[in-house]
Structure 1
């Protein structure tokens, strides 16, 4: 019996997502909410697997390593809700890949994990260290933008769900992304410059522009209200899951208590699910 464990962070949507000259990309936004996966491998006993995407990740990892085990077990403990745009599937898949390798005394580079993940579904890129621009359809890293800023995030889910695979197979997606490219270009410039110069207000402006641009692709009915509340909370900007349901607001520590901001939202929308957490650098542990 071989055992391995790994954990991957979730995301609060993305700082920016769209296309540039037709090529898809995102700037990830990892947060301090995790999925931990344990894998057991043996040649005897019964297979215990109920997580389809994680099972595919395990099999693809074994294939990459040139190994085969007839009986596998996958156990997951996750703080991430599914189909909300918080990177739950990517976290499960990435953690499974690394846990599988660790069960066999191996480690995997983020690029390898990202390529395996992209064979299963589009990836949020949180297997990469820091904050990264990546192609979420291929998993390919494009540019490292530095470590995550020391900022808090309030996340709200008004309800509903979005299937990532179905979303990315929409026939109108390319034309909608083309339509918003001018705003996305502005957003990526502001977020990139803000991260590289530690100008968090500039980064927040860019994230807000990307969130607004995405209204032509996947409208958030409450985005105008969310932006108004963010202004009242003196937030640096807002985030959205570009292919999910959640929205976030970025807060500077010491200026606004994230617990108070979360309670502010809960009082006004008690039917929403609300979290508060912090931005963190990506990478598995």
Structure 2
């Protein structure tokens, strides 16, 4: 399993300092905007060169690729302009520009984090030991978060239900109750299916029963869906292998992910 990661760096490539900064790949314009606007906030003089985004995170799939680009670029800017700045201050500066550019996830905690998506404000940083493995499928196509939120109206009638689910999830994560957290993820996936339908949901529900997965998870503004297992299950490896084979037989291409966790100190 390859670790998903994003890194930003500046290459001068013998360019004049008076030349404008460009970005590579050329479509990572938000990353470039994050770097240059934060540079202006810090009252630093710009320089020429190329802002390179080295990322293996799939774009528009639900992996928070653009937020990763933005934060990597902003943190690079801070480290170059203020090399001795404390980490907390660097994170605050990076988030100050990120929230101006898009809705996003809080990616600066090494584990599970609850955040207010519109402001990227951290609500709770969790320390867990769930040991989840997710067998995921990509349903194809692309979902651009901004377009999705603009084109698909929110359902105010579900707000109370989601608030209750959030409270239950918070309790489950604090208690390291993986099966309970997976059940909540399943309920959220089912509730969301009228806004961004996952055609694999019925197949995943059947495979959940067949292979004893704890639950189902989906990207709420992406193309991914998956089954949640845990390495606490004694026959974990056999369940994963069987599930992937069953997905292949149904015409899906499965991928295996592990949950990013910060363990308790």
Tell me the TM-score normalised to structure 1 length. 0.77
Q: 1:180 touches 1:216 (CA, 8 Å); kept in 2?
A: no
Q: 2:18 touches 2:48 (CA, 8 Å); kept in 1?
A: yes
Q: 2-side partners of 1:53 and 1:96: how far apart?
A: 9
CA spacing shift, 1:199–1:111, aligned 2, 3 Å: same
Aligned position for 2:51: 74
The yes-or-no answer on 1:120 pairing with 2:101 is: yes
Q: 1:205 touches 1:237 (CA, 8 Å); kept in 2?
A: yes
How do 1:10-159 and structure 2 match up within 5 A?
32-40=3-11, 43=17, 47-49=21-23, 50=26, 51-104=28-81, 105=83, 106=85, 107=87, 108-147=89-128, 149-159=130-140
The yes-or-no answer on 1:281 pairing with 2:257 is: no
SS in 1 for 2:260: coil
Q: 2-side partners of 1:199 and 1:134: how far apart?
A: 20
Higher strand share: 1
Aligned position for 2:178: 200
Structure 2 unpaired stretches of 5+: none
Q: 1-side partners of 2:129 and 2:118: how far apart?
A: 23
SS in 1 for 2:114: strand
Q: 1-side partners of 2:210 and 2:41: how far apart?
A: 50
Aligned position for 2:164: 186
Aligned position for 1:268: 250
Q: CA deviation at 1:154?
A: 1.7
Q: 1-side partners of 2:74 and 2:243: how far apart?
A: 36
Asked which structure has the greater RCO (Cα within 8 Å, sep 6+), the reply is: 1
CA spacing shift, 1:85–1:75, aligned 2, 3 Å: same
Q: CA deviation at 1:146?
A: 2.7
CA spacing shift, 1:32–1:188, aligned 2, 3 Å: farther
Larger-gyration structure (1/2): 2
The number of residues matched between the two structures is 247
Aligned position for 1:9: none
Q: 1-side partners of 2:190 and 2:242: how far apart?
A: 25
Q: Which runs of 4+ in 1 moved over 4 A?
A: none
Q: 2-side partners of 1:96 and 1:148: how far apart?
A: 30
Tell me the TM-score normalised to structure 2 length. 0.83
